[in-house]
Chains A and B, each alone.
Chain A
Amino acid sequence: MVDTLRDMAILGALACALGLVSIASRGDELPWFPDPAEAFAGSCELGSAPGDEGETGALAEVAGSQVERIAYAEAVTLIGDASVTFVDARAAEHFAAGHIPGALNLPAMNAEELLAMQSFPLPLEELVVCYCEGWSCEQSEALGKILQDRVGCQKVRVLEGGWLRWTERGGPIERGRSDHHG
């Protein structure tokens, strides 16, 4: 048993050394410690924990990001507002398992293909709120940029904390597939 533990320690040390060399060789592609601004560029407010203190209650722009944010507290008041469109950037099966009522499903990973193939009722001048799984997912940011830059939506926001935040705070949900997905 002692031999086995010693062998495991040798293999582990070798692997750790290789891993550290691998990180060192990547340079800027993989810094030793991630920059929070980049790591959470997808959906959270910089430096904030997923708690109330991080929310402003108003549309807030995160430094270095191109899509403005909207806090849960404000977004939940927009449910039922016909002028507001929620867009779920997650995969279809996640959308079917639960989503914000009335949301469209436009998975970020193939959003451009889907937008080219079919028509989505996306308003150009009204508010569009994108969300993905949680605080650190990046699909909502990616989709938001596509809607802003390619589609021409002028008021795109990313929901802070995404679906995780929404469900933690008890936001209304509905289940089932979207008429608008791939």
Chain B
Amino acid sequence: MASALQRALSTRAGASAVSAARVIVAVVFIAAALPKIVDPAGFAEDIRNYEVFPLWSSNLLAGVVPMLELTGAIAILTGWKRRGAALLLGLLTASFIALIASAIARDLNIDCGCFGQQSEAQAVGWPRLLEDVGLLALIVVAALNPKRPRPSALVASR
């Protein structure tokens, strides 16, 4: 299994898939972070609507969470501490999944706040949950380390 994965990653297609996953993950998190950074008070309101976190923490989370998203996205895109960034974004996304699942379980009809309040409202629900599960899968792919094909292998394949 592991060797099959290594073989897949050593192909050009595998390496391209990993690169694409990194770009997609970075773009999604940057797009999610910027509106929240522009309007942190609106994001704090979104956080309070989940009725999970204590009131005192909502503004702190509204300040820190978008920076976690932005820092992770830049790191995964540039390759600086890439695996740490993937773990950070993975944990964030897992938290979002848990939050959305709890909102669904409590039948809350609220804006998910995924892309802040600058964007069109996205109600919490199964589509948002599935999107985040898909994003988590992409983060796992983005964390993989494709090995460059050896020159001899390239020659042999011609």
Contacts and interface: CB of A to CB of B under 8 A. Distances in A.
Interface residue SS majority, chain B: helix
Interface residue SS majority, chain A: helix
A136 B49 contact: yes
B84 A18 contact: no
A156 interface: no
Contacts, number: 121
Nearest to A4: B83
Contacts of A30: 40-41, 44, 59, 62-63
Interface stretch (A32-40, A68-76, A112-120, A121-129): A32-40
Interface residues of A, number: 43
Contacts of B83: 3-4, 7
B60 to A, nearest CB: 7
A23 interface: yes
Interface residues of B, number: 37
A14 B49 CA distance: 27
A23 B40 contact: yes
A138 B108 contact: no
Interface string B115-139: 0000001010000000000000000
Interface stretch (B6-14, B18-26, B67-75, B149-157): B67-75
A40 B51 CA distance: 11
Interface in A102-142: 109, 133-138
Interface in B72-98: 72, 75, 81, 83-85, 87-88, 91
A90 B62 CA distance: 23
Contact of B123 (A40, A94, A134): A94
A97 B72 contact: no
Contact of B48 (A18, A136, A163): A136
Interface of A: 3-12, 14-16, 18-20, 22-23, 26, 29-34, 36, 39-40, 90-91, 93-94, 97, 109, 133-138, 163-164, 167
21 contacts: A5-B84, A5-B87, A7-B87, A8-B87, A8-B88, A11-B85, A15-B67, A18-B67, A19-B60, A19-B65, A22-B66, A22-B67, A26-B63, A30-B44, A32-B59, A32-B60, A34-B44, A39-B58, A91-B121, A134-B51, A136-B45
Question: Lowest 9 A-B CB distances belong to which pairs?
Answer: A7-B84, A19-B64, A7-B81, A23-B63, A8-B84, A15-B71, A19-B67, A19-B63, A15-B67
